[in-house]
Amino acid sequence: MQLLAFVLIYPLLWFVSILPFRLLYAVSDVLYVVLYHIVGYRKQTVQENLKLVFPEKSEAERQLITKRFYHHLCDMILEAIKSMSISVEDMKARFKFTNIELIKEFEKQNKSIVLMCAHYGSWEWIFIIQTYVKFRGYAVYKRLNNRYFDKLVRGIRARYNSYLVTTKETIPTLIENKKRGF
């Protein structure tokens, strides 16, 4: 069943991934209408969470935040799919790092670093950092239930020489790398 789902969905994902960005974001806008207005995917949960976090904001302000969240979510979904085929040049043009020289300074000193990122931008795009630095990059991820999609996501995220570690492997990997001087 997992293979069947993968075989049926993968061609659609690949087709979406090769769309030009202008068309990709148009598809994102359509997805927004479906997720927010038609399906209402987790809308009540999002609104309840925003009420907890922003009790001082009016209902109209929270509603605007909710809509912007869904637009952003849809962009992230489509950008993750775009990661299947995006070129290194396009990736670097769209994902900018500031203060990369700080990481390079740690490299010169042979010091390890831990880079923590908020889940705001595209996770698949952050891995382009490996083209700027020599450090061996590890990324923690949660294994997907469908092993075929899991392999696809691991391939996308490891594309720029990053090593993916499941949540269960994180601590043992850190300990092993500490022993080996990484």
> What pLDDT was estimated at residue 115?
80
Output the DSSP codes for the chain. -HHHHHHHHHHHHHHHHTS-HHHHHHHHHHHHIIIIIII-TTHHHHHHHHHHH-TTS-HHHHHHHHHHHHHHHHHHHHHHHHTTT--HHHHHHH---S-HHHHHHHHHTT--------TTS-HHHHGGGGGT--S-EEEEEPPPSSHHHHHHHHHHHTTTSEEEEEGGGHHHHHHHHHHTT-
pTM, whole model, 2 decimals? Answer: 0.83
pLDDT for 88-116, tens place per residue? 999 899 888 888 999 999 999 988 888 87
Name the residue ranges covered by the structural domains of the chain: 1-85, 88-182
pLDDT for 8-67, tens place per residue? 999 999 999 999 999 999 999 999 999 999 999 999 999 999 999 999 999 999 999 999
